[in-house]
Amino acid sequence: MNDATHSQGRIFPLSVVIVVLTVIWYAGAVYLNSGQLIDRYNKRSVQWDITQLAADAWSMKRPVLPAPHQVVRELKKTVLDQKVTSKRSLIYHAGVTLSSALLGFVLGTVLGIGLAIGIVYVTTLDRSLMPWIIASQTVPILALAPMIIVVLGSVGITGLFPKSVISMYLCFFPVVVGMVKGLRSPEPMLLDQMHTYYASRAQVFFRLRLPSSIPFLFASLKVAIALSIVGAIVAELPTGGQGGLGARLLTGSYYGQTTMIWAALITASVVSATLVSIVALGERTMLRRLDGGQVARS
Amino acid sequence: MSDNASSSDTVVQIDQLSLDFDTVDGPVHALSGIDLAIREGEFVSLIGPSGCGKTTLLRVIADLEKHSSGKILVNGVSPDQARQDRSYGYVFQAPALYPWRTVTKNVVLPLEIMGLTRSQQQTRAKKYLDLVNLSGFENKYPWQLSGGMQQRVSIARALSVEPQLLLMDEPFGALDEITRDHLNEQLLELWRKTRKTVVFVTHSIPEAVFLSSRVVVMSPRPGRVMDVIECNLPSERTLDIRETPDFLSLAHRVRQGLKAGHSYDDE
Ligand SMILES: Nc1ncnc2c1ncn2[C@@H]1O[C@H](COP(=O)(O)OP(=O)(O)OP(=O)(O)O)[C@@H](O)[C@H]1O
Ligand SMILES: [Mg+2]
């Protein structure tokens, strides 16, 4: 099957899902905003019908749930009609979030791979480290993030890095788990075979363990890259004023600007989805090289 | 006395070798009091029922398993030293190919590890792929080959190290009878050409008798040698020899040896 027919086969179900979601969203906007509106109608004792209600529900200034077209208008206003360097541009804020997320992702991946190598090769690390790594993820990041920012700030580290630390904190976990599994995935027979070749540890690592771990690594990286955005946004909440999608969310909720919140949320998910797709593309390319095109064929 | 027995052309010298595995339900006597001397250029088959320690014995020779007592010399040195000298090639029951490497890249894997130059690697890969009749498949990936072809790649890879000793653990066990017959002929041909010493594990009596200059019959619990049968079949032989009286009487002796170990009925 070639790529063209493949994507054609996907477009139809995808559009159906989008249409259904949009309809539900519009209905939801009417339902959620109706309370406020009906109160207002009653106070002013105006006559109303369902068309009136829908029209009003879809054009409120501070709706509980804004209608899709309001969010689209907000997106147009903050994405297309602004210079990217302006503080009012969502692209600017997305850029702020993206840069700290990416730095955190890279740091987390490096840390995760490093820890995994340690765990696989050093027995004492396997016993001592893994419980801590698991415990680290049971602490709610929302509670931890302000402390990390404050602690790092008090020793003079501010700006991008503290935010990246929070992304890193979320990212390294799936990478450790995936890489440990991946580095241990070669069959005993293949390891015995390396033993008969009198291969050094480094040779076994680079020729056998590392290539065997690549599929596991990429599965983890897809989770990690999405988490890195979550981490960056969470990190921006306590540092409110400095920009980023998290700051937009905070400002939006502060002023009851739900449209602004939704626009930021949608931007965040578009950014995440794009990043995950890029990792998935990298994955496909790597796997194709790893098995000489068997994946590509099937 | 056994010291005198090891002459200069002995490739594998095993004296009173035993091996016990410690398991949760107590020790398993996988090998017990094995005596065996394999001379240069011999083709020796190990045959016996499942669990009699054939793989374990081969793994001791290859330094993949440590014996509990007794003595073993490979090429006159300890198995560990022999492994460091890369003096043997080991063919596993499964092809054990790397899916991300082409046929050639698989064959040169041990050569990369030994640090041969690129051109040496290529020359050897070509030579040994030729020898197992796989020229033309150099750039294919393992999944593009049949099971029999994959096993031949694995044999070419073991040969590429140019060891004097070839250890093979049921290399054709997973293949169908027709492919197996064909590969048996090819292996015999290869042995005639290269005069390697081969230690070959099998379950099949005809396979053992057809290929071997000597058949070692083993029995389980504890794993020990029941009988050693010299097979002096003419060195130029084809599969047809399996119908001859000489062949059949050898096969009969092997079967008797297996029965003497009352192998399957003491479970
Ligand atoms: N790593 C191990 N730990 C414990 N026991 C083992 C181990 N390897 C083998 N054994 C035991 O040693 C005995 C000999 O096993 P081995 O694999 O050598 O048999 P085999 O003759 O090769 O059998 P098969 O023909 O089925 O391959 C068996 O009883 C087996 O259960
Ligand atoms: Mg076996």
Which residue of A lies nearest to B160 if distances are taken between CA atoms?
Answer: A197
Dihedral, CA atoms, B98, B102, B107, B109, nearest 10 degrees? -60
Question: Ligand 2 centroid to B31 CA: how many Å?
Answer: 13
Nearest residue (CA) to ligand 1, atom 5? B21
- Tell whether ligand 1 has an atom less than 6 A from the beta carbon of residue B23: yes
Count interface pairs A-B at CB distance under 8 A.
59
Question: Ligand 2 centroid to B103 CA: how many Å?
Answer: 26
Question: What is the DSSP annotation of A239-270?
Answer: TGGG-SHHHHHHHHHHTT-HHHHHHHHHHHHH
ipTM surpassing 0.85: yes
| Global confidence as pTM | 0.84
Question: B82 vs chain A: nearest CA distance in angstroms?
Answer: 10
Q: Which residues of B208-233 are buried (b: 16+ CB within 10 A; e: fewer)?
A: bbbbbbbbbbbbbbbbbbbbebebeb
Looking at every residue in chain B, the average pLDDT score rounds to: 88
- Residue B174, both tokens: 């997973």
Task: Provide the pLDDT for residue A170.
Answer: 93
DSSP class of residue B239 equals G
Model confidence over B17-60: pLDDT tens digits?
999 898 888 888 889 889 999 999 999 999 998 888 999 999 99
Question: Cβ(A29)–Cβ(A67) under 8 Å?
Answer: yes
Average pLDDT over residues A279-297: 77
What percentage of chain A carries pLDDT values higher than 70? Answer: 94
In this structure, which CATH number among 1.10.10.60, 3.40.50.880, 1.10.10.10, 1.10.3720.10 belongs to the domain A90-297?
1.10.3720.10
Dihedral, CA atoms, A151, A157, A161, A163, nearest 10 degrees? 40
- Helix (H) or strand (E) segment spanning residue B122: helix B118-131
Question: A190 vs chain B: nearest CA distance in angstroms?
Answer: 6
Query: How many Cα atoms occupy the beta-carbon half-sphere of A44 within 13 Å?
Result: 8
Question: Cβ(B194)–Cβ(B117) under 8 Å?
Answer: no
Question: Ligand 1 centroid to B42 CA: how many Å?
Answer: 25
Q: Which of residues 120-159 of A touch B (CB under 8 A)?
A: none
Contact call for B113 and A294, based on CB within 8 A: no
B98 interaction partners in chain A (CB closer than 8 Å): 190, 208, 211
Q: Nearest ligand to the C-alpha of residue B24?
A: 1
Rounded CA gap, B53 and B48, in Å? 8
Model confidence over B196-230: pLDDT tens digits?
999 999 989 989 999 999 999 998 888 888 889 88
Rounded CA gap, B36 and B58, in Å? 12
Dihedral, CA atoms, B83, B89, B91, B95, nearest 10 degrees? 100
Model confidence over B106-128: pLDDT tens digits?
999 999 999 999 999 999 999 99
